[in-house]
Chain A
Amino acid sequence: MVSLNSYLILSAILFAIGTIGVLTRRNAIVIFMCVEMMLNAVNLTFIAFSKYLGNLDGQIFVLFVMTVAAAEAAVGLALMIAFYKNRESIDVEDMNMMKW
């Protein structure tokens, strides 16, 4: 029997790796993928808690997180295509049009 803490620590490791990716990469698509990874780490926490508390509410929440992630991916990738059309790059260092 795997304990709840193992799942939580695995989830924490995945979340930390996702954070490192968001903070250190420059490619906007890779940053986006790291955000998806962080969302998945949280989903793992929800499902682990749901199993060990005997309550299905966590899994319903995971369904909603997945919906939001899908919507976010669609809009975010459309934004990236629009940005690429303007600037010929998806480097986050080039995203400075709103800088004063």
Chain B
Amino acid sequence: METLFFLIVAAIAVITSILVVANKNPLNSALSLIMTFFCLATLYVMLEAPFMAAIQIIVYAGAIMVLFVFVIMLLNVRTEAARRGKHALFLGTMTGLLLLIQTWYTVGRGSLAGVRGPVDSALIAKVGHTELLGTALFTDFLLPFEITSILLLAAMVGAVILSKKKL
């Protein structure tokens, strides 16, 4: 049952991500990408990470994609007139497929390390995923968390400066 559900969600994710690349209209690409993000959020729930699923929908499918759709509509980008030439298309596709084959081969060869951490389904059910993440974030990962705030501030200032009238 779980495998069937996984296969369905994975198939939808792959089809919509192909649509992102294949669609001529950028707006259709953006909508397909939102669908891919929703499929990934479903997979996160299956992987017992409900908080990450919520963040995926709120931050990715919500905030970031709204920004994309907003810019596409603001710039009024029409369907692109010319695609890349045949050679670029062929070489790009071949590079992508080569990457896929290489990754597939490597994944098939390796196996998971025997060492397991302390977190399992019972602990997540007892303590709660959000609380576990919060504890880790504010104890072991406090410095990276603080640096993240500086990164966001820099990005905010950068975005404001870049979109000024006279650059």
Contacts and interface: CB of A to CB of B under 8 A. Distances in A.
Interface of A: 1-2, 4-10, 12-27, 29-30, 32-34, 36-37, 40, 43-44, 47-48, 50-57, 59-60, 62-64, 66-75, 77-82, 84-85, 90-91
Nearest to A84: B75
B28 to A, nearest CB: 10
B43 A7 contact: yes
Interface in B79-103: 80, 82-84, 88-89, 91-93, 95-97, 99-100, 103
A55 B124 CA distance: 11
A19 to B, nearest CB: 4
Nearest to B63: A70
A2 B119 contact: no
Contacts of B80: 25-27, 91
Q: Pick the most buried of B44, B97, B115, B140: most chain A CB atoms within 10 A of its CB.
A: B44
Contact of A15 (B60, B89, B99): B99
B142 to A, nearest CB: 11
Contacts of B37: 40
A80 B71 contact: yes
A53 B162 contact: no
Contacts of B71: 29, 77, 80-81
Contacts, number: 225
Contacts of A13: 14, 100
Contacts of A5: 107-108
Interface in B29-77: 29-30, 33, 36-37, 40, 43-44, 46-49, 51-52, 55-56, 59-60, 63-64, 67-68, 71-72, 74-75, 77
A4 B112 contact: yes
Contacts of B49: 47, 50-51, 59
B125 interface: no
A23 B95 contact: yes
Contacts of A18: 17
A56 B117 contact: yes
Contact of B155 (A55, A64, A75): A75
A76 B160 CA distance: 12
Contacts of A7: 43, 47
Contacts of A14: 13-14, 17, 36
